[in-house]
Structures are given as C-alpha cells and as structure tokens.
Structure 1
Amino acid sequence: MTKLDVVIRNGEIVTAAGAIGQADIGILDGKIVQIGGELEGELELDATGKLVMPGGIDTHVHLSSPPSLQQREPRWVDDFYSGSAAALAGGITTLGNMSFADPGELPMDCIQRDADVARGQTMVDLYFHPVLRQAIPEVLDQIPTLFESGCNTIKMFTVFPDFDAQIPAFMEAARRAHQHGMLTLIHCEDHMLIEEATEQLLNAGKTSMRYYPESRPVNSEVIATQRAVSFAEATGAPVYIVHLSSKRALDVCIDAQERGLPVYVETRPLYLHLTRERFEDADGAKYVGQPPLREQSDVDALWEGIRQGYIHTVCTDHAPWSLEAKLDPTHDLRNLRPGVANLQTMIPMLYSEGVLKGRISLGKLVEVTSTNVAKLFGLFPHKGTIAVGSDADVVIFDPELEQTVEASMIKSNAAHSVFEGWKVTGWPIATLRRGELVFQNGEILSQPGSGELIARGKTQAL
C-alpha cells in the first residue's frame, strides 16, 4: 500500500449534494487521490463526529489598495497575510481579490502589482479581479490578454461618477469579456440617486450615520440592478451582481433568471444577519457597508433566495478597518469608511443561523460558499468539491462546537467584529489547503507565501 501524505478518517463528507456518507479521504501531492478503502498516511486526522467539507472560496475581498489611495488616507487594514489568516481560520482556502488600478494603470498592470505583493504574503490560493475605472480603448483591447493570463473576470461600478458617460464602452467591455468566456462583475448602486439623497440629508442637517440607509436608498440599488440585467440582455454576457442587499433588487434578478438571462447573484453576511436598526446604536458607523443594511423583510427574502437558488453565492466583501477608523467622529454621510471584517465568521454563521435554524440545507451551504463559486470563476472541479482528482482543500468542521465571537479570537488586523457577542454553533477545527494542514484548533500553521496565485478557465453556467 502506498503511504499517503494525509488521511482524514471517519468524517461525514459533505458536498453541494449534501452529506454523502462517512468515508476516509486520502491525500497525496496536494490532491485527493482516494475516498474510502484501505488508506495509510504520514499524517492522520481523526474527524469522528465532524463534517468534512470542501474549502470555502470567497471571490470578493479587498486585501490591497492602489498606492495612491494608501498615501491619501487610511485604507483597509488587512494585507494578504492577515487576510489569509482570517480566511483559513474560517474554513476558506481560496480568495478572489478586487484590484483597483492607479491612474494610468491598465488592468494587467494593476493585477501584476497586486500579484507582486501577494506572492510573498498569501497563505490561501489567490486570484484577482481587475476593476475597470474607464472603458477606454486601451482597456478594452486588454480583455483577451486578461483571459490568456488566467483571469476570467472584469468588474465595473455603476456608482462611479463617470459610469453613465461611458455606458456604451462598458457594454462593449461586457460583450468582449463574454466572447472569451469571462464573467462581468457589477456593483449595483446608482450614483445620481445617491448624490441627490445625500445632498438633501446634509442640507437638512441629518449628517449622522443613523441616516446612512436613506443616503443610499433601495431604489438606487434597484435601478442599477435593472441596468446590469439590461447589459446581460443586450450583449448575452453573463453578469454577476455583487453584494445584493434588498428584496426589490433580488426580484429584478429573479425575473431575469426566469426569462433565461445569465444573471448570477451574490449576497454577503451583513445582509443576512443584521438590519438597519444597528445604525441607531452609538457605534452604528461600524456597520457601514455599501449598500447599507436593510429591513428584516429584506433579510428574510435573501435567505429564501439562497434556499431557492436565486442567490448563487455568499461572499464577504471583506474590507476591514480598525474600529477607531470606523468610528472617526469627523466623518459624515459623504466621508465614511465602508467595509467590515467577515472572513473568519462567514461559514460558521451560515451554519449556525442558516443550517441549524432550518433556513438552508447543509448542501446549500457548501454550494454557495464553494461549489458555485468554483464553477462561475473557472476553478471547478479542481476546487469547490471533495472528489478524486480535486485539490485537497478540505475543512474539518465541528457542528457542535459553540463559541462566542470575541475580539480576541479575530485573526484580521481589524481586531474586532460586527458580530461580537453572538453565540455561534459550528466552527472549523482544521483546514487543509492543497493537502497542507494550515489551521488547527485556533492556530495558523502555514507560512507567508505558501499560497499560490492561480489561473482560471472559462465561466461555467450553473
């Protein structure tokens, strides 16, 4: 019998199909090579009474920012190392980072810049999404090169002030991306409506964060989502709506999906666990994300959207700040710091608040945090499942472990969580990335630079 690198014994294997039974898993050279049968490993891990799931894939994080932004003001506090630590502790083994170009940078330039930094820091496997600030000819001409280099996405923001003036060019970007099997990510909020709403609030002296939801109203998300759907309808290009927050915007996507349009939807933990009442708190500014927290009816609709398959992924939009920066008293509705730390708590809270409360199935949790992401972002079946031949990205998950979220446990440099004080049942106790044990019992075991920068193939329809 060939001695394997790692054997995981006696765990209940879970895929997007649900719990598929108890079996040992054999790992060699970073791959799953055997499931069941006789196995012997150099390292043997006992998963009795535990769930064994594919590593999470969070395709929406912010672990870097352009040098020009870093010089102007404080930015997100996690680099690729600390962000990796938070991810591994949360059962996430692969990340997709948003890469913003500096003035004059083309998409390939900004990806290369981030890659040069990440290469020596990351402990997760990593890929990049270039953000298109301008759809100028030089940018459009690079889209084939992006795909050839292993990048299968572009991202655009309808909330950028100059987006409206470039709509034909952005539609052409989506069209060209589609021609190469790529996916177009779209941040859906309308700049004009947000500017108008914010101006009216400021003129009325309503400057505090308690008015933040009114400054970015639901209709700004709805209109921008309708525009994203129109891109898919006009060009045939698949579009991926990031961090959708409201029932009304989801309804737009459901209508599009039922008409057969390639519209994929992501939501994030903020919108599944919290409501706008948090902005009434004295520390309400720490909950600021874009879009804002919504009503309980929106929360309920998003859970149901996940259950029914209208929402395809749950990702964090992890963009953490220090608590001091979030609560800066000099900031108002025009000058705020959106983003929170989510990586370490996303999967545990989906299990605790979703699976245990009967909102979603165990298979659905795996589907929206791993399998669907792998398919949409050109990684399946190397990642996103537990199968012979797949990368050995594996999480051993204790479904009965109860922990209260505390600042002291947070691996992110943010050193706080918007979910502090929540009692959460179900946590990763071990994480393997390509067969290497990188997290166990609260400790990071990996080294900076051990993660790989990975290439992606064409988007797969779900």
Structure 2
Amino acid sequence: MADLVIADGLVVNASGARRAHVVVENGRIAAILDATEPVPAADRVINADGRAVIPGGVDGHCHVAQVTGRYRTLDDFAITSTAALWGGTTTIVDFGIPRDDSETPLQAARNKLALAKESRCDVALHGSVVSWDDTVPAQLEELAALGIRSVKMYMTNRGSTMADNDTVLKVMKEMVRLDGLTYIHAEHDAMIVHCTREHAEADRIGIEHLHETRPELTEEASVREVLAMAEYTGAPVYFVHQSTPGAVDLVTDARARGLDAHSETCPHYLVLDDGVYASRFPEWFACCPPMRSRKTVSALRGRFADGSIHTISSDHSCYDLTQKRERTDDIRQMPHGLPGVETRMPVAFTALSEAFLESRTGVETAPGTAATMDNEALLCRFVEMFSTAPARINAIPGKGVIAPGYDADFVIFDPGEARTVVASSLHMGTDFSPFDGKVLHGWPQVVVAAGTVVLDEAGFHDPGPVGRFLSRLGYRETATHPGTMDASAPLLPGLQAAAHSARPNVGAKAK
C-alpha cells in the first residue's frame, strides 16, 4: 500500500501535461499512472478532480534572518519556511552574506546552516564574497565541499556588501575551477552614487524619489560589464531580479554567443510600476532595483511570456513597516527589500496569464485575468520558471519535476480560482505586503512536501523542523550529464540525518 496517492490530476511538468495518478512512497514519487487506470490503494488518497498538479516551487532567491547594517529582517527559518509552504514553495535557497568585515564567507554560510535547522521545508544555500584576500580560494573550496556551489556578489552597495571588479573577476575564475555558478546583483555603483548625491543636494532623497535615483541605465550598464567579465573568465553567470527588458536582452544576446548566462526576475517587477512611489504608502515598495515605468513593465512581461526570462524568484526580505518608516526621508538610510516568498506563486501565475494573453491578442488585459485549464503551454511555462529551471540551474537534485524517483513535492491548484491578497492573513512575519488588495489567481489549494500533506482544505499542518539542507551538484556537471539530477540516487547528506521516510504523515488520513 502506498503512503499517498494524488488521484486524477492534470500533472504538469515543464515538458508537458497529462491526466494521471501520482503514487508516493517514502517521501518520493514511486509511479505515475494514467488516469484511466484504477486508483491504487494508499494510506491517503487526495482526489485532484482534474485540477493542476505541479512540482513544488523552488525559490532560488530568499533572504532569511539577514543582517544588513543596523537592520535585521524579522523572520527566521521556521517563519519563512512555513510561509513558503503556504505559498506552494517546498524548497528555498538562502544566502550566507557576511554581515560585516568581521565575518568571512565561510562563517556566514555556517551560521545560516545552523539557523536552517528550524526549517519546515528543504533549504539550499548560496555563498557570498564581499572582498578578496588570500583565504578566499580555500573558503570557496570548503563551501563547494559542503554543497554550496554558487556565490553572490553585489556590484553596488558601496561600503557594505559591494564587491569591487577585481574581486568579482577573481571569484569568477575560482567558480570556473570549482564548477560553480556566479550570482550577480547588477547595478552600476558609480552612477547610482552620483545620481543619489545629486538628488540629496536637491532635497529629493525621500522614498518617493527612489526610482529616480536608480535609473534603468544603471542596471543595464552593470549587466553589460559583468557579461564581459563572464566572457573573459568563462564563468557561468546568473543575474538576480532583472527589472528591465534591456537587461534581459543583454543576457539573451550573450547566450546566443555561447555564454552560460541566466535571467531572473521577481513578481513585483511584473505587476507594479513606479507609480507606487506617488501612492499613500510608498515605503511598501522600497527595494533595489526599484519599480520601473509602466512601459518598461509591459515590455518585461513580454520577455516573461516568451521565455527570455528563465526563473521567477521572490527576493524575499522580511522587514516590517516600523523599520521601513524610520527613515523614509532618506532612502540611503532605510532598509530595502520586500516580503514575497508566500505570494510568489499567485503573483507570478497571474502575471504570466495576463502576459500570455497580451502576447497573443496585442491588447493589455484586465488585472487578475484568469488562465484556463486548456492552456497547456501557459501551465508548462509557469512550471518551468517556478520549479524546474530554478532546480536545474542551481543543480538541486530531486526537485522541479513530477517523475518517478523525484521528491514528492507537489502543489494542487485551480488556475481559475481568484483570491484577494489580505496582508494580515499572510504568514511571513511582517505586517504588510506590496500586493495587498490585489486579486490574484494560482493560489495553492493542497501542498505536499516530501510526501507529507502540509496544506489542505483543513488548513496548515506544521511538519516541524524536518527540512533538509540540500547539497548541490556542479553547474557544468549537471549540464553535461543530465542523469546526475536523477533523484533516485542516494540522499545527499544534510542537516537532518533521517531520510524522508522518517517524516510524519501529518494531516487527515482520508478524503
């Protein structure tokens, strides 16, 4: 008898969709059976009734318990992982970013590994380097040995997290040697510093002017510069939170020349524009890069629909309004970042639904337009960006695909169901959402993580601190030998010694 069966669902992978039963044993997918076959016996059967069944989300860009300057985000791994599960994400990837000069990249990563023991979902990590010294190569080797195979660097934030060009170039060379991936926050620091100084001198430095101090050119100039360094070193590169079509097009052109380059965007850049900075609560939207013009958002949505953007991540940063409002008079002093791990799925799905319709009709759609179940191309494209590509690019075995041997991480949802975002009803450890009041489609109705039902019609069932640390594979190793992503391989060592089969099957037993 199986542990769990998801019966008669429209099982959607990036490669296609089919009506099927999904059979789960010991936390993994044991079989995919055609929906015309009898439903196998199981401890629990959930009838999907033809609803979409997609792989659990992989959010490749989260900041948990992050310290930046005098501010610390108000979440921890228990809070953020719970919110992730509520939002259909079953794997998060956090960053070990040194809090200041006293913390090394290796120490920062080990600190996050210790904190992650409280996670309710699986966790992977990126490293981060701020400044170069002779110890960095050995630290990067040790990070790789731990399964941390990517390093993030900031091209801006002078005096805190920014890495200079010498450091970026040297780290890229090391990541090639270690078969890793270089993550980049691309904004041109000198331009931003100059522009911000001019705004300060003109007394236009409050939050309502954020978008003016970081123009689109600053992002695109930085992307162009980093791509040149990646081409010089041969390093695979991944650009976080791209907010302009020009930045995406630079990556597309680089890929056409043979570079291993990837574009990520975030939900807020697809549904919000710079008009928010003239709203009643502009502090809700303090993030870098800032929101762009309506014209830019429309063009970015086109890149989202046509596949030029590879992943959709939340860039989750959990500050509250008290922290945001301390210095709304000076954007240089206030914390930047938005909560979003829980709302990534419905915002991204709604934006993609609208963008798909716009790309086919040439007419801007009404906000909150619902997708239809017969739009298989849309559903598959969503799965690719929400689950499959983040797992593949970050070389996380067992994730992002519904197939035998893969982890039993699923989301069941009805694309036509609409809900309104109510910030006070979310679970991210803060008191606001930039999407408050928006009508969205694509909310999870059932969430299964490692074979355990954690969300259903009865509500949330806390599995406890069962999340594993996921040791990642090499970037080129995975690209060259796709079989290395096969989840039927033995479990990799992590924070939790127990296998998935030891996790409790939380929730009601019958439906």
* TM-score, normalising length: structure 1: 0.94
1:329, CA displacement in angstroms? 5.1
Measure the CA separation in 2 of the matches of 1:122 and 1:422: 29
Q: State whether structure 2 residue 368 is matched by structure 1 residue 368.
A: no
Match of 1:234 in 2: 232
In the TM superposition, 1:205-354 aligns within 5 A as 205-328=203-326, 331-354=329-352
SS in 2 for 1:448: coil
Q: Secondary structure at the match of 1:389?
A: coil
2:409/2:449 contact within 8 Å kept: yes
Distance 1:192 1:400 in 2: 46
Aligned partners of 1:276 and 1:294 also within 8 Å: yes
Deviation at residue 65 of structure 1 after TM alignment: 2.2
SS in 1 for 2:60: strand
Whether contact under 8 Å (1:429, 1:442) holds in the other structure is: no
Which has the larger displacement, 73-82 or 200-209? 73-82
**Counterparts of 2:355 and 2:190, CA distance in 1:** 40
Match of 2:469 among 447, 453, 457: 453
1:152 deviation in Å? Answer: 1.1
8 Å CA contact 2:323–2:335 kept in 1: the answer is yes
Q: Summarize the Cα distance change of 1:226–1:461 in structure 2 as closer, same or farther, 3 Å threshold.
A: farther
Aligned residue in 1 for 2:81: 84
Please give the alpha-carbon distance, in whole angstroms, between the structure 2 residues aligned to 1:6 and 1:296: 46
User: What is residue 436 of structure 2 aligned with on the other side?
Assistant: 420
Give deviations 1:352-394, integer Å, cap 9, x for gaps: 23226635711111001111111111114x1110000000011
Q: Secondary structure, in 3 states, of the residue corresponding to 1:338?
A: coil
Q: CA deviation at 1:306?
A: 2.3
Deviation at 1:164, TM superposition (A): 8.4
Give the structure 2 partner of residue 40 of structure 1.
41
What are the superposed Cα offsets for residues 161-201 of structure 1, whole Å, 9 maximum, x if unpaired? 26888423321211211222210000001111111111101
2:72 aligned counterpart, secondary structure: coil
Secondary structure, aligned partner of 2:305: helix
CA spacing shift, 1:357–1:403, aligned 2, 3 Å: same
Residue pair 2:155, 2:163 contacting (<8 A) in 1 also: no
- Structure 1 residue 295, shift from structure 2 partner: 1.2
| Matching residue of 2:128 | 131
Provide the C-alpha distance between the structure 1 equivalents of 2:246 and 2:338, rounded to a whole number of angstroms.
24
Structure-1 separation of matches of 2:163 and 2:353 = 44
Q: CA deviation at 1:401?
A: 2.1
Pair 1:169–1:424, CA change in 2 (3 A): closer
| Aligned residue pair count | 453
Query: What is the CA–CA distance in structure 1 between the aligned matches of 2:347 and 2:458, rounded to whole Å?
Result: 17
Encode CA deviations 1:17-36: one digit per residue, 9 max, x unaligned.
23x21111100011000111
Distance 1:106 1:344, change over 3 A: same
Identify the residue that residue 63 of structure 1 maps to in structure 2: 64
> Which of 361, 373, 396 is 1:379 aligned to?
396
Contact 1:54/1:385, CA 8 A, preserved across alignment = yes
Structure 1 stretch 417-426 or stretch 321-330: which is displaced more?
321-330
Q: Which runs of 5+ in 2 are unaligned?
A: 358-376, 481-511
* Partner SS for 2:61: strand
- What runs of 5+ residues in structure 1 fail to find an aligned partner? none
The one-letter code of the counterpart of 1:274 is L
Moved more, 24-33 or 433-442: 433-442
Matched residues in 1 for 2:128 and 2:472: separation? 17
* Amino acid corresponding to residue 295 of structure 2 in structure 1: S
Amino acid at match of 1:46: N
Conserved? CA contact 1:156–1:185, under 8 Å: yes
In the alignment, the residues of structure 2 paired with residue 365 and residue 17 of structure 1 have an alpha-carbon distance, to the nearest angstrom, of 11
Q: CA RMSD in A?
A: 1.9
1:24 has 2:21 as partner? yes
